Amino acid sequence: MEIIKVNLNEDFSEAIQKAIAVLKLGGVIVYPTDTLYALGANALEPFAVERIFKIKNRAREKPLPLAIRNIKWAKELAFIYKKEERILNSVWPGAVTVILPKRNIVPGIVTAGQSGVALRIPNHPFTNKLLGMFGYPITSTSANISGEESPRKISEIINMFEGNYYKPDLIVDVGDLPESEPSTILDLTSGKPKILRVGPVKPETLRKLLEV
């Protein structure tokens, strides 16, 4: 388990290249988002996604959310119509995970066999650059062991996985993250938007979504 420290105010191209090298080999990274640190693997490679379940000790019946770069990526992974696209443009990038009807390109292991896929465009400079240079969606589940809290302190994340049999291959350390709730979860798989989890989004924004 390699740990690389990153100063976001300086050039972090080397860290990006290391993370991409790990992902290309089917490995798993811990990376920062605008809410929590996340566990990332190439979401289109089932064997890589399998490692996420092992590292988290996560039940296979629980779907994994994905981090994507832009709306174009979302359209390649899910069925999106004009109404849904208007909503997505109002909440992305940011702390809103949206469940959409998935396309066949998304492996069943990612969605636990369900018909919807959870997507998000994180608002974080490291992750945005990583996705852009890697070119594929990555898993974006919180960096923790299932059933335990999701730490913001990078030292706690390192300690958690050091004691685990299954470990991520690379941890990108940008320091402790600010206090934040997990992302809001918005379900757009039916005719009307449904808020499944309220997160760090202003209440008036949620009301507007529900009125669409």
Quickly list DSSP for 37-87.
EEEE-BTT-HHHHHHHHHHHT--TTS---EE-SSHHHHHHHB---HHHHHH
CB 1 within 8 A of CB 167: yes
- Looking at residue 203, what is its pLDDT? 58
Q: What is the pTM of this model?
A: 0.92
Could you report the per-residue pLDDT of 173-193, keeping only the tens digit for each? 999 998 877 788 889 998 778
Could you report the per-residue pLDDT of 134-157, keeping only the tens digit for each? 999 999 999 999 988 888 899 999
Could you report the per-residue pLDDT of 151-167, keeping only the tens digit for each? 889 999 999 999 889 99
Six token digits for residue 204: 């008036």
Measured CA to CA, the distance from residue 204 to residue 10 in angstroms comes to: 36
Measured CA to CA, the distance from residue 144 to residue 202 in angstroms comes to: 26
**Secondary structure in 3-state letters for 139-170:** ECEECCCCCCCCCCCHHHHHHHHHCCCCCCCE
